[in-house]
């Protein structure tokens, strides 16, 4: 029988080939297998999975539940090869997600931010206009900052007044209509072949 570590790497490779992003899962499952090895166990048990998942002790329960879900997913896969594997049941680590209350800027605050952006040094360079456009786009479209900074010239259709936001949350893309003043502002930033949102 192959080792648990080899099985875990095969599992991650299989998931990756199906298009899943595995940054958190890969990190956590490698950490879990190291924990298993340190405890001299090659059999996944609910008790060991729980003990590992509830580390560190000073984080939100949602963090523990996420860690346990990674193990559950791998255990389900590995149980087809090793029937001694225990699959931790759902609901072992109940939690309530605590979401931060979003802060909504008033129109006055947005105007103050835009004014401050226009006064960034050097006032004759592109930096003030870059931040002015960045903040303006976020304010009028609701785009995330990561979406704005990933835009390039091919994503901007000034004639149609459309922005294409690619690979957003859940790897989807969407079109965002631009109002006329925003299109005019954006065209200023693209003068001289400079990209729509210059590097910050």
Catalytic residue list = 144, 169
Q: What is the 3-state secondary structure (H, E, C) of the chain?
A: CCCHHHHHHHHHHHHHHCCCCCHHHHHHHHHHHHHHHHCCCCCCCHHHHHHHHCCCCCCCHHHHHHHHHHHHHHHHHHCCCCCCCCCCCCCCCCCCCCCCCCCCCCHHHHHHHHHHHHCCCCCCCCHHHHHHHHHHHHHHHCCCHHHHHCCCHHHEECCCCEEEECCCHHHCCEEEECCHHHHHHHHHHCHHHCCCCCCC
Phi, psi for 157 (deg, rounded to 5): -115, 95
Q: Alpha-carbon distance 179 to 75, whole Å?
A: 51
């Amino acid at each position: 029988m192959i080792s648990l570590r080899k099985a875990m790497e095969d599992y991650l490779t299989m998931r990756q080939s199906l298009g899943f992003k595995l940054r958190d899962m890969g990190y956590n499952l490698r950490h879990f297998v190291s924990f298993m090895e340190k405890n001299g166990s090659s059999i996944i048990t609910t008790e060991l999975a729980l003990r590992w998942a509830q580390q560190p002790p000073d984080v939100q329960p949602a963090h523990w539940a996420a860690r346990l879900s990674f193990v559950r997913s791998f255990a389900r896969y590995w149980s087809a090869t090793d029937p001694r594997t225990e699959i931790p049941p759902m609901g072992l680590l109940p939690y309530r997600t605590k979401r931060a209350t979003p802060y909504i800027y008033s129109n006055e605050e947005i105007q103050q931010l835009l004014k401050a952006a226009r006064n960034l040094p050097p006032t004759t360079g592109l930096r003030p206009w870059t931040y002015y456009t960045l903040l303006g786009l976020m304010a009028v479209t609701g785009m995330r900052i990561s979406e704005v900074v990933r835009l390039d010239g091919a994503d901007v259709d000034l004639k149609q007044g459309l922005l294409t936001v690619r690979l957003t949350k859940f790897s989807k893309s969407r079109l965002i209509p631009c109002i006329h003043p925003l299109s005019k502002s954006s065209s200023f930033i693209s003068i001289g072949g400079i990209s729509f949102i210059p590097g910050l």
